[in-house]
Chain A
Amino acid sequence: MTENSERRVVSVIVVNEASVLSRITDLFSGRGYNITSLTVAPIPDSKYSRLTIVTSGSVRVIEQITKQLHKLIPVLKVYEHADLVEKEMALVKFPITENISDINAICEAYNGKIVNVGNDVIITMVADEPKRIDHYLEAIKRYNPKEIVRSGAVALER
């Protein structure tokens, strides 16, 4: 992206109907916008779902993204706020032979813990701001993580 590309979080409330997710992702691919991460789940007790899309682009591009999203018929609302609480989860699998107490201590520093212990591996879970998840994943590199899965960000305006 050109002219000062910025990371932005866009929340989209959509009618929970067939192919609505394709409409959103087609719009992004068709118009050449980025999707860094995308999460989607139904909003309880409603006919709507909420998508949280982490994207990047210039001010003009972000404005276009929100306007183009608005144009889609099943889209109810589009929020593009800077002031929000943002969280992401990461699951990581470590060999059981690694220093488990060290790993546990690091996890706790990032709102996490060991959630599963098997014969060969342990699985940890942390939930924090996406940037802190980056730091966490950096910090646990030396413990030879075997698999990492990130959930993508979810966010709420303050």
Chain B
Amino acid sequence: MQISGAQMVIEALIAEGVDTVFGYPGGAIMNVYDEIYKQDGFQHILTRHEQAAVHAAEGYSKASGKVGVAMITSGPGFTNAVTGLADAYMDSIPLVVISGQVPMSLIGTDAFQEIDAVGISRPCTKHNYLVTDAADLARVLKEAFYIAASGRPGPVHVDIPKDVTAQIAEFDYSKPVEIETYKPNVVGNPRQIKKAIEAIANSKRPLFYLGGGIINSNAAYEVRELVKKTGIPAVETFMARGTLAHDDELLISMLGMHGSYAANMAMSETDMVIALGARFDDRVTGKLSEFAKNAGVIHVDIDPASISKLVNADFPIVGDVKNVVAQMLEKCGEINPDNYESWRETINNFDELHPLTFHEDTDRIKPQWVVKRVGELLGDSANISTDVGQHQMWAAQFYPFSRPRQWISSGGLGTMGFGFPAAIGVKAAAPEKISINITGDGSILMNIQELMTAVEKKLPVINIILNNNYLGMVRQWQTLFYDKRHSETDLSVQPDFVKVSEAFGGIGYRVTTKEEFDIALKESVAKNVVSIIDVVVERLENVMPMVPAGGSLFNMMLLEKKEK
């Protein structure tokens, strides 16, 4: 079939089963947008900023498990998208991001809206391509989707010069992908798995350390079974929330900097860490030399480079965690759950000593209450996206997650402005669920223009601002570690968020009481239009407990005890 490069892009996206593309047109990508106009194979969602287009594609991917697709133009269109690429790279989110480039004859001449896009995206993508001949497009796009979704997932960037999208060439999308240099190992070594099972059976205080790789590989239900069968308690990383249901008796909680006391103490006391799709991030481990000091380490990961990168693995198992857990399930009969009775009791005692909680001791609403209340009212019916900061940690700590892909948050890069566009993508992927963005008064302003996208495309995201008139997380660190010098974190000057939402065609509520909050949330759900619920919360609330940066997990700053 002889067609133009631009038509090839459309044909490839349809062949890949793409139903939604997020993007923003511009000069160098116009040929492709002309073909988008003519087709009806997928919907295009026009965001109001290229960064938002990529975050929306991330949210779409995280909620659906499919590859997210974003399209942008050259130069500033591309540079605006870089934050999204970096975010997806850090959190292993499969994306294909297609950018226009100036015509080949102008590359290198500092042409209008020219930038070395593949040079910039190289360190923040899994792979990238500059397509110099339309005859390569079918292969490149097919490889891009394959690379994005296989192995350790990640974003792939395809940069296409304008003359290549105009060029007519042969297009055949039926050829299978053959990349001689890329063959991810997906099945775990059976001998290693056998040894790992033996090591678990011989341990007294084993602990599952569940990571985001479980969500990526759709292995949560297998993991639930493994945890149940073995009776081994589990901690989740921030990225793994929703792997186990919140009411699973073996789920301790999240671990790490703002993990629960019991989760961090369990990690400090365990004698066998069973890491599944987790990468020993510094926000999880605290001081490395003190991390799980007396434990052996079983590390299952699709990415060999993640194994023994930070913590030496005694039993490294390279493979897709879904396969490996299935292999472990076959062998786990020799693990006796009764052996861990006293270990589970020890952990329960930790939890009773310092439970994950907060004090309702002020007139103002506590931010944690808001998260809990959303959970009580919406529970499983909502997908929860967040921005970055205190609200994000409270959401991770207190929301009652019940399923994988319910939790969408920027973990690795920590991108403020992620939440709202991501929640738009989540709503596009899962329209039957309520899409909530729990955000802060700092973060929401970093992509507030997406109110327009949500209104236009009727994607009724509910933004809940935990408004403390502070850049709260930085303020917390300034309070704790900078002698209360609150440098440039006081956000007392703010827009009227209700009016902002209304100006775009959405609805808004300013909430100061619990009763008002309930009404605002119920109305937002019922009205089915984008909403901002601006909740006035206690200004100086800190996220607790906390492991100070570089500290040991067992050395936590704890919530002060209150006499009842």
Contacts and interface: CB of A to CB of B under 8 A. Distances in A.
Interface of A: 14-15, 18-19, 22-23, 26, 30, 60, 63-64, 67-68, 70-71, 73-76
Contacts of A19: 118-119, 122, 130
Contacts of B505: none
B182 interface: yes
Q: Which 5 A-B pairs have the closest CB atoms?
A: A67-B305, A73-B127, A76-B181, A30-B123, A73-B182
A47 B234 CA distance: 48
Contact of A73 (B118, B130, B181, B304): B181
A74 B126 CA distance: 11
Contact residues on B (Cβ < 8 Å of other chain), bracket? 10 to 19
Given A18-B130, A74-B181, A23 B122 contact: yes
B382 to A, nearest CB: 36
Interface in B103-127: 118-119, 122-123, 126-127
Interface string B280-303: 000000000000000000000001
Interface string B331-375: 000000000000000000000000000000000000000000000
A73 B118 CA distance: 15
A14 B181 CA distance: 8
Contacts of A71: 303-305
B309 interface: yes
Nearest to B182: A73
Given A18-B130, A19-B118, A60-B308, A73 B179 contact: yes
A76 B304 CA distance: 15
B305 A64 contact: yes
A22 B182 contact: no
Contacts of A23: 122
Nearest to B180: A76
14 contacts: A15-B181, A18-B130, A19-B119, A19-B122, A26-B122, A26-B123, A67-B304, A67-B305, A70-B305, A71-B304, A73-B126, A73-B179, A73-B181, A76-B181
B250 interface: no
A68 B181 contact: no
B511 interface: no
A88 B309 CA distance: 32
Nearest to A64: B309
Interface string B117-141: 0110011001100101000000000
B464 interface: no
B132 to A, nearest CB: 8
Interface of B: 118-119, 122-123, 126-127, 130, 132, 147, 179-182, 303-305, 308-309
Which of A14, A26, A71, A75 gathers most chain B CB within 10 Å? A71
B122 A75 contact: no
B179 to A, nearest CB: 7
B122 A22 contact: yes
Nearest to B305: A67
Which of B118, B119, B147, B305 has the most C-beta atoms of chain A within 10 angstroms of its own C-beta?
B305
A76 B309 CA distance: 21
Contacts of B130: 18-19
Nearest to B127: A73
A2 B180 CA distance: 36
B182 A63 contact: no
Given A19-B130, A22-B119, A73-B181, 8 more contacts: A15-B181, A18-B130, A67-B304, A73-B126, A73-B127, A73-B147, A75-B181, A76-B180
Contacts of A67: 304-305, 309
A30 B76 CA distance: 23
Max chain B C-beta neighbours (<10 A), residue from A14, A19, A70: A19
B310 to A, nearest CB: 9
Nearest to A75: B181
A75 B309 CA distance: 20
Contacts of B181: 14-15, 73-76
Contacts of B179: 73
Contacts of B309: 64, 67
Contacts of A14: 181
Contacts of B127: 73
Contacts of B132: 18
Contacts of A30: 123
A23 B125 CA distance: 11
Contacts of B304: 67, 70-71
Nearest to B181: A76
Nearest to B143: A73
Nearest to A27: B123
Given A19-B118, A73-B182, A68 B123 contact: no
Contacts of A75: 181
A63 B304 CA distance: 10
A63 B308 CA distance: 9
Nearest to B124: A30
A67 B310 CA distance: 13
Contacts of B182: 73
Nearest to B152: A71
A55 to B, nearest CB: 16
Nearest to A73: B127
A67 B118 CA distance: 23
Contacts of B180: 15, 76
Contacts of B147: 73
B343 to A, nearest CB: 31
Contact of A68 (B118, B119, B122, B305): B305
